[in-house]
Structure 1
């Protein structure tokens, strides 16, 4: 399917998290260890926030991330406190720029790993539930973008966990109506540039991998000689499809059927259950 990472914390160069780690997202695009596919070469995207700009910048392309010279150039020059990065392995929809993640709406960004099962069978019914004012802005043909528009329809801007739960509930109900046993598989990241929410859920209870980084203060105690840990704030966090390296104690698995919230102050880990609408 796909691999992704979300970073929130001290402003850093994109290169720091995209290329430098031993098992970076670029390495995962060729050598994923925990994904369904080893290779994720059906497009990529990065998004970031800049001071005094209302909406995030998003750069997406259709080719593999590992050989893209423009991505390499951007990574050495763009600095931000919040990055999304995604490498795609298509689950059936076309390899085209509008199908690459992350997706953007106003200040919001969204990216997804997983699939709506038998999407071709349920797509029309799901699309009819999208708010008409949001439907016209759908550019691609993926289940991921449609999930984003449904979450916006159900109040994402006011209540991200509730909106994603209502989106998941609609997908499951619609899938069951069409005879799909396990309609939804997802790890999702969504942000408004301040809070970062990450969800891990599947109808079958066997969700794709998702990890968050350990608190920086705990990592400093474990690894006092690492310069990077002295340079970033206690608030710095990463949420990733798979760990970016093998540093002992650096990663913890996000539990099944849960939502983790990263924001200034205390992080939160909440149970996640789809809601019927």
Structure 2
């Protein structure tokens, strides 16, 4: 459906993340190796934190990422220690800026690769569960943005894994009430600018691909002549829909039905079990 990456570590330019890797996200927008669709041409978005203001900056466009001159220009100048980026393959919703990820609320960024099956039939049920104060902030028409606002409603700021589990649980509950066998599919990412939470889960148990980088110090020892590896900071953490470089041992698959928590050099893998909130 889409491709995305989440980065934390020493400040780097967007160019380092989006253009320089041999299988960069911009190249994946034109030809993805592991995506449900090879081309993700229905817009893109980048979110980053610069330390000057609490909320992140966001740049989104309906242009194909490989063909957007403004993105290429911006990427050369923006540096950040935490970046979310997403290229979109629309699954039926309109191609418009408000439907491009990442979505933002205050200090939070959120993105999704996947789908809510039967969304038109259950959209009303889901959006009625969104907190009334948040409902006016749903600008677009995607299932992903609705899931984000459900997670905000269920306490994303206090307990992100539990909030995302409640949001996905409600999707599954509503979908099955309407006869949808496998209501949720995808990978989710959320950040508050300090930590990253990445979820891989589907109702069917066959989720979209998701990978994290191996320990950088070990990679440096294994690839002493690879300049791209040697230039990475030891605290580099990347979570990606598909590997950015073809290096043996560099990428670890995030397990099915799990939540990866990244904070600085620390990582933790937890089981992810959706639980619909009680009334």
Q: TM-score range by the shorter chain?
A: over 0.9
In the alignment, structure 1 residue 186 sits paired with structure 2 residue 191: no
Query: Helix, strand or coil for the counterpart of 1:37?
Result: coil
CA distance in 2, matches of 1:97, 1:261: 29
Structure 1 residue 265: Cα displacement: 4.3
The answer for the alignment partner of 2:127 in structure 1 is: 127
Counterpart contact for 2:236–2:265, Cα < 8 Å: no
| Structure 2 spans left out of the alignment, 5+ residues | none
Query: Helix, strand or coil for the counterpart of 1:132?
Result: coil
The answer for the alignment partner of 1:195 in structure 2 is: 195
CA distance in 1, matches of 2:8, 2:266: 13
Deviates more, 1:231-240 or 1:22-31: 231-240
**TM-score normalised by length of structure 2:** 0.97
Counterpart contact for 2:168–2:184, Cα < 8 Å: yes
Deviates more, 1:231-240 or 1:109-118: 231-240
The answer for the alignment partner of 1:267 in structure 2 is: 267
Query: Helix, strand or coil for the counterpart of 1:38?
Result: coil
The answer for the alignment partner of 1:58 in structure 2 is: 58
Query: Helix, strand or coil for the counterpart of 1:90?
Result: coil
The answer for the alignment partner of 1:144 in structure 2 is: 144
Deviation track 1:237-260 (CA, whole Å, cap 9, x = no partner) reads: 110000112111110110000010
Structure 1 residue 203: Cα displacement: 0.1
Q: How many residues align?
A: 277
Counterpart contact for 2:237–2:265, Cα < 8 Å: no
| Structure 1 spans left out of the alignment, 5+ residues | none
Structure 1 residue 3: Cα displacement: 0.4
Query: Helix, strand or coil for the counterpart of 1:131?
Result: coil
